[in-house]
Amino acid sequence: MSDRVERLRRLINPRSIVFVGGGTVEPAIVYVRRLGFSGNLYALNPRRDEIAGVQCFRKAADLPEIPDAAFVLVPGESAVGAVHDLSRAGVGAAVVCSSGFSECGREDLQSELTEAAADMPFLGPNSPGFANFLDGTAAMLDNMGVTPCERGVAVISNGGAYLNDLACGDRSLPIAMIVGLGNQATVSVADMVDAVLDDPRVNAINLYFEGLNDISRLSHVAEKALVKNIPVVAVKVGQTTAGARATATHTASMTSDSVVVSALFRRLGFIEVENNSEAMETLKMLSISKRVKGRRIGFITSSGSYAAMGADLAEKAGLELPALKPQHREMLQPLMESFIIPNNPLDLATAHFWPNEDQRRLFDAFLSIGFDVALQCMTFPAENTWEDESWYRSARTFGEAAKAAGLPAVLVSSIHEGLPKKARDMLIELGVAPLQGFHDGIRAVMHAANYGEIIDQGVENIRLPEPADLSENSVSVDEAQAKELLRQAGVLTPKGIIWESGEVPDDIQYPVALKMCGRKILHKTEIGGVKLNIATPVQLRDARQCMLHSAQQRGMDIKRFLIEPMLKNGAGDLLVGVRQVPKMGMTLTIAFGGVATEVFHDSATLLLPATRSEIKAALRSLKMYPLLDGWRGRTKADTDAAIETIFAICAFAEARRDSLLELEINPLALFAEGQGTCALDAVMRFTEQE
C-alpha cells in the first residue's frame, strides 16, 4: 500500500508526464504548460511526429525516461492496450480519461483495463484528471484556470462538473488541487485522500461521492486526517448499495441510503454538507478562520433585518447567541447610539459610518464579553450605487478587533454576490473568513463548531471493522425463537407459552396476549395476528380460531401461537433495529416504537460498534425524546435501562456479524424510571447457512 500511495503522490506532482492519444490530448498539453509545469512532456502516438510541439513515440518502452504520470485518451477498447503498454514500461500511475466502461454497463471491459494495469494505479476510467495549483501541474482536458496557491483545499470528486464548480466559482476559496476519480476502478476515494494528506500544504479536503466503496480503508484514512487536524467536508452522495437487502421491516424502511451514508460520515468525523455552495463556504471557514472551540456567537450587524434573520438561522443551526447581561449593556450603551438598546445581535445602526476609532472601541467592548466566534453581517453595495468606503472601514475594524480578542472571525454577506473580491481579499489578509450567503455562511460556522467537537473527541471510535461477506439467501426465525435468543443475550422478554395444538393450556394467568408465530410474519397487526387483553379461556380459543382463518385466507400454514402475559403500562416504546448494509457493516437504528413508528420520521442511526455514550446521544437526539424524559408531568421512563438493553442488543448482533442480517425489536417497552425494559416483539433474519 505504501508503494501505491507513493505512486499517487508522484502522479499529482510529477517530474514527467506522457500523453497517450491523438489531437484530442492537445488541450491537456496546452493547459499543463499554462500552469507553468517545468518537467518533461512526452506523447505516445504511432502515426504522428508531434502533438502541440511535444515529440511522439510509438510505445512507452521507447521513451527516454520512465514518466511519473500518464494521461490516456483513446477509445475504450484501445485504452486497454495503452494501459498495458504503460504498465509494462513501469510508468508510475495514470489518468484514464477514456470512457465507455462500467458507466456504460461495460464491466467486462473495465475488468480487462484493471488487469492490463497490473500494479500501476490509475484514476478512472472516465476520469476528468487532476490539476495541482500548488506545484503548477495537471493532466486534464478541462481548463480550470490558473490560480497559484501556497496552501489550500484538496478537492476529490468522482466527476468533473463538481470540480469545475469549485475551481471556477467566484468565492475566494483557496484550492490546492482538484482530482477526478471517475469510476474508481483501481484508485478509490480512500487511496486519494491518503495520498494528499501527506502534503503539509493541504489544510482541508473536500469529497464528492457518486459511489462508496472500500469503507474500512476509508475509516483508516479518516483517522489519519483527524490526527493531522485536516477537516474533511463531504457532499452527500446519491445512492449506494445500502438498500440491496432491505426487507419489509421498519428498520429497513427508515435506514435509507442517505441515512446510512450520513451515519458513516458522522462515524468518520466527516463534515456533511448538502451541496457545492455550502461546501465552499464551509471549506473557507475551516481553511481561513482560526479553529472554533464553541458555539457562542457574538453577532454584529448594522441592520435589524439581518439581526432577526441571523438569529433565526443561528438557532436552527444549533448555534448560541447569548443574551447580554445588565452589566454588559451598561458597558456598551455609552459607546452606541442612544436610541439603540445593546443586545446580541448587536445592531450598529449609524455607528457603521462612525470613525474607525469609535467603532473599534465598540467592537472591543462587545467582543470582550466572552464569545467563541466573532461574526459580522454586511452586504456590500453593488458597484456604482453607494459609496462603499464605509463598508470597507467597518469590516477592517471588525477584523482587527476580532484578531485582538483572539477570536475566530467571519464576515457573512446576506446574499452570495454581496461580498466583492476586493473585500474578500482584505478579509482573508486579516484572517477573517469571507462567507457568502446567509444560510450557507451560518451553516459553515455551525460545521466549524462541530469539527471542533470532533477534534476533542479524538480518534478512538472512528475505525470500522471489515464488513462481513454475507450470502444473499436468508432465513427468518419466528418471534418465539427470536425472543429466546434475546433472553440468552440478557434482554428481558415476556414469559410466554408456545401453543401448537390441543386445548387451551392450563395455569395461564389472565389477561394475556395471543400472537401468530411464523418465520414469514413481519407485521402481525396488519393480518390480524395479534389479540390483546384476552380475559378467559373461551376468548383465547376464539382468538386462535380467528387467526387460523385469517392465515388460511392468505395461504399461510400457521401451527404455532405464542401466549404472553399482558404487562403493566409502560412509560414509552422504542424501536431498536440492527441490520447489515453491504460494504458498510452493521447499522443500529433507534426510533419511537409501535405501529406509527414510520409516520413521524424520527429516528437515529449509528454504525456498529457503538459505545454507550453514542447510544445515549442517539436516543436523546430523537425529537420525541422529551416524552420519555417526564415532559409536562408524564412518567419518566427508565432510559438508563434502555441504553443498557440497546447495548446488549448491539453486543448480540456483533457476536453474529458473520450470520445475522437483520434484527428488530418493536416495541421495546420502557417502564417507569428504575423499573427496566421488556422486548415485546422481535424479528430476526440470518444467512441461510446459519
CATH number at residue 521: 3.30.1490.20
Work out the average pLDDT over 308-318: 94
3-state secondary structure of 35: coil
Of 294, 235, 569, 592, residue with least CA distance to 448: 294
Could you tell me if 372 and 407 are in contact, meaning their C-beta atoms sit under 8 angstroms apart?
Answer: yes
Q: What is the pLDDT of residue 608?
A: 94
**Within a domain: residue 482?**
no
State yes or no: cis peptide before 345, omega within 30 of 0.
yes
Residue 248 — pLDDT band, cuts 50, 70, 90?
very low
Residue 527 confidence (pLDDT)? 79
Find the range with the poorest average confidence among 238-247, 334-343, 392-401, 587-596.
Answer: 238-247
The whole-number pLDDT of residue 1 equals 67
Considering the domain boundaries, does residue 483 fall inside one? no
Sheet holding 346-347, edge to edge: 346-347, 297-301, 373-377, 409-413, 432-436
- Looking at residue 447, its pLDDT comes to 97
* Average pLDDT of the residues in 467-478: 80
In contact, 633 and 656? CB cutoff 8 Å:
no
Q: Are 643 and 670 in contact, with CB atoms under 8 Å apart? A: no
- Contacts with 471 (C-beta within 8 Å, 6 or more apart), sequence order: 687, 688, 689
DSSP codes, 373-428? EEEEE--PPPTTTS--HHHHHHHHHHHHHHHHHT--EEEEESSGGGS-HHHHHHHH
Q: Rounded CA gap, 542 and 529, in Å?
A: 13
DSSP sequence for 570-620: -SEEEEEEEEEETTTEEEEEEEE-STTTTTTT-EEEEESS--HHHHHHHHH
CB 139 within 8 A of CB 28: yes
Give kind and range of the element (H or E) at residue 280.
Answer: helix 276-288
pLDDT in tens, 187-215: 999 999 999 999 999 999 999 987 777 78
Domains identified in the chain, total number: 4
Domain boundary among 261, 286, 311: 286
Residue 598's pLDDT band (boundaries 50, 70, 90)? low
253 and 306, same domain (yes or no): no
Whole domain around residue 374: which residue ranges? 289-457
Mean predicted lDDT score pLDDT of the chain: 91
- Given the C-alpha cell 407459552, which residue does it identify? 497
Q: Which residues contact 545 (CB under 8 A, 6 or more apart)?
A: none
Q: Tell me which of 505 and 21 has the higher pLDDT.
A: 21
Residues in the chain: 690
pLDDT for position 245 = 41
CATH number at residue 596: 3.30.470.20
Q: What whole-number distance in Å separates Cα of residue 288 and Cα of residue 432?
A: 7
Q: Are residues 452 and 536 in the same domain?
A: no
Min mean pLDDT across 28-37, 233-242, 300-309, 542-551 is at 233-242
Chain Cα centroid distance, residue 648: 27
Same domain, 251 and 167: yes
* 558/603 same-domain check: no
**Distance separating alpha carbons of residues 551 and 118, to the nearest angstrom:** 58
User: Given 3-state DSSP classes, what are the helix, strand and coil percentages for the chain, each rounded to the nearest 5?
Assistant: 40, 20, 40
219, pLDDT greater than 80: yes
406-415 residue pLDDT tens: 999 999 999 9
Helix (H, G, I), strand (E, B) or coil at 281: helix
pLDDT band for position 348 (cuts 50, 70, 90): very high
Q: Is residue 480 part of a domain?
A: no
CA 391, 394, 397 angle in degrees (round to 5)? Answer: 145
3-state secondary structure of 534: strand
CB contact at 8 A, 434 and 284: yes
Band of pLDDT at residue 597, cut at 50, 70 and 90: low
pLDDT at 275: 92
Amino acid at 481: Q
**pLDDT single digits (tens) 72-105:** 999 988 999 999 999 999 999 999 999 999 988 9
pLDDT digits (tens, 9 = 90+) for 448-463: 999 999 988 888 778 8
pLDDT, tens digit, 9 for 90 and up, residues 278-287: 999 999 999 9
Radius of gyration (C-alpha) of the chain in whole angstroms = 31
Same domain (yes/no): 101, 204: yes
Task: Decide if 471 is inside a domain.
Answer: no
Domain's final residue, options 518, 540, 565: 565
> Is 488 within a domain?
no
**Best CA proximity match to 283, nearest among 462, 498, 441:** 441
Q: What are phi and psi of 342, to 5 degrees?
A: -60, 135
Instruction: DSSP for 212-232, please give it.
Output: ---HHHHHHHHHHHHHTT--E
First to last CA, the chain: 35
At 246 the pLDDT is 40
Whichever domain contains 303, its CATH number is: 3.40.50.261
Quote the pLDDT of residue 373: 98
* Percent of the chain clearing pLDDT 90 (strictly above): 73
| Measured distance CA(364)–CA(611) in Å, rounded | 43
Residue 596 has pLDDT above 60, yes or no: no
How far is the C-alpha of 180 from the C-alpha of 160, rounded, in Å?
Answer: 6
Q: Is 185 helix (H, G, I), strand (E, B) or coil?
A: coil
In the predicted structure, residue 241 carries a pLDDT above the cut 70: no
Same domain, 35 and 48: yes
d(CA 413, CA 213): 38
* Tens digit of each residue's pLDDT (9 = 90 or more) over 382-426: 877 788 899 999 999 999 999 999 999 999 999 999 999 999 999
What is the per-residue pLDDT for 247? 40
Which helix (H) or strand (E) segment holds residue 257: the answer is helix 257-268
**What is residue 256's predicted lDDT score, i.e. its pLDDT?**
60
| Distance from C-alpha of 237 to C-alpha of 1, rounded to nearest angstrom | 27
Residue 251 — pLDDT band, cuts 50, 70, 90?
Answer: low
Q: Are 242 and 584 in contact (CB under 8 A)?
A: yes
Give a yes or no: residue 466 inside a domain: no
Residue 606: name the closest of 654, 547, 658 by CA: 654
Quote the pLDDT of residue 679.
Answer: 95
DSSP symbols for 122-165 = EE-SS--EEEETTTTEEEESS-------SSEEEEEESSHHHHHH
Average pLDDT over residues 120-129: 96
Task: State how far the alpha carbon of 186 is from the alpha carbons of 116, 117, 127, 382, 454, in Å.
Answer: 11, 9, 12, 49, 31
pLDDT at 242: 43
> Is the same domain home to 533 and 621?
no
If asked whether residues 194 and 45 sit together in one domain, one would say yes
Q: Which of 78, 169, 67 is nearest to 120 (CA)?
A: 67
Q: Looking up cell 510541439, which residue turns up?
A: 53
pLDDT value at residue 501: 79
Residue with the larger pLDDT of the pair 683 and 472: 683
What's the pLDDT score for residue 688? Answer: 74
Cell 416524552 belongs to 627
Angle between helices 160-168 and 276-288 (to 10 degrees): 50
Domain match, 310 and 282 both: no
Q: What pLDDT score was predicted for residue 602?
A: 85
Q: How far apart are CA 98 and CA 657, in angstroms?
A: 40
- Residue 559: band (very low, low, confident or very high) from pLDDT cuts 50, 70, 90: confident
> 111, 132, 298, 270: which is closest to 186 by C-alpha?
111
Q: Do the beta carbons of residue 319 and residue 445 sit within 8 Å?
A: yes
The answer to whether the peptide bond before residue 511 is cis (omega within 30 degrees of 0) is yes
pLDDT at 243 over 60: no
Q: Is the peptide bond before 565 cis (omega within 30 degrees of 0)?
A: no
pLDDT at residue number 407: 97
540-565 mean pLDDT: 88
Same domain, 338 and 238: no
71 is a domain residue: yes
What is the structure's pLDDT at 238? 58
- In 3D, which of 501, 533, 505, 537 has the Cα closest to residue 517? 501
Asked whether residue 478 is domain-assigned, the answer is no
Instruction: Among 504, 535, 565, identify where a domain stops.
Output: 565
Q: Are 546 and 588 in contact (CB under 8 A)?
A: no
251 neighbors 580 (Cβ within 8 angstroms) = no
Q: Which CATH number does the domain housing residue 181 bear?
A: 3.40.50.720
Same domain, 670 and 525: no
In the predicted model, is pLDDT for residue 689 greater than 50?
Answer: yes
Q: Let me know whether 282 and 294 are in one domain.
A: no
The CA distances from residue 217 to 191, 221, 257, 617, in Å, are 8, 7, 20, 26
The answer to whether 391 and 380 have CB atoms below 8 angstroms apart is: yes
